[in-house]
Amino acid sequence: MNTRVEAAWAALEELTDPEIPVISLRELGILRDVRPAADGLEVVITPTYSGCPAMGQIEDDVKATLARAGITARVVTQLAPAWTTDWMTEAGKEKLRAYGIAPPHQTPAGSNVVRFISKPARTETVPCPHCGSAHTVESSHFGSTACKALYKCLDCQEPFDYFKPY
């Protein structure tokens, strides 16, 4: 592999999500590729939710991190294939859990709209990230950010965020 590309991956490994500062952009699946281009490197990122206000920050962070490492790069935003929580690494999911956010379930394969609404996700168990209890309820489909739902543990009584399958 090109050493400049390797150096860029290594520098970006430190870079975490602005909203969830325990998981790296690579582990989240936002950082898609680093490739050589004619005038330096090209870093490919993909947006999570269409309206995620962190995307501008992420692009700036990528540029600043690489600049500090002395690497010239251009950031390219790519929409397809659409980001999915299935790209999150297992290590990343474990970091979310330790941080108090229940990691996402696998997205249901080929679910069509009618099936999606007639069989809500809350029939699936979302274990409490604090005490591990499966005895939890959804308080709201939408939590502190678009990507999370708000849950409550009925055993330890703690509220927590669930990273929704997307």
Please report, as ranges, the residues that interact with other proteins according to CB under 8 A. 47, 49-53, 79-84, 112-114, 116-118, 120, 139-146, 150, 164, 166
Taking the complex as a whole, the smallest distance from the CB of residue 85 to other proteins amounts, in Å, to 10
Burial of 105 (0-12, 13-18, 19+ CB in 10 A): middle
C-beta of 21 vs 81, nearer to other proteins: 81
43-71 burial, b for 16+ CB within 10 Å, e for fewer? bebbbbeeebebbeebbebbbebbeeeeb
Between 68 and 141, CB nearer to other proteins: 141
Residue position matching structure tokens 């249901």: 108
Nearer to other proteins by C-beta: 3 or 112? 112
In sequence order, the β-bridge partners of residue 76 are: 44
Min separation Cβ 135 and other proteins, Å:
20
Q: Which CB sits closer to other proteins, 127 or 143?
A: 143
> Taking the complex as a whole, how short is the minimal distance between the CB of residue 11 and other proteins, in angstroms?
28
Token pair 């108090």 in the structure block, residue: 100
**Considering the complex, what minimum distance in angstroms separates the CB of residue 161 from other proteins?**
12
Q: What is the largest CA-CA distance in the chain?
A: 57
Name the residue nearer to other proteins (CB basis): 18 or 40.
18
Least Å from the CB of residue 4 to other proteins: 29
Which residues, 6+ apart, have CB-to-CB distance to 30 below 8 Å? 17, 45, 46, 47, 48, 58, 83
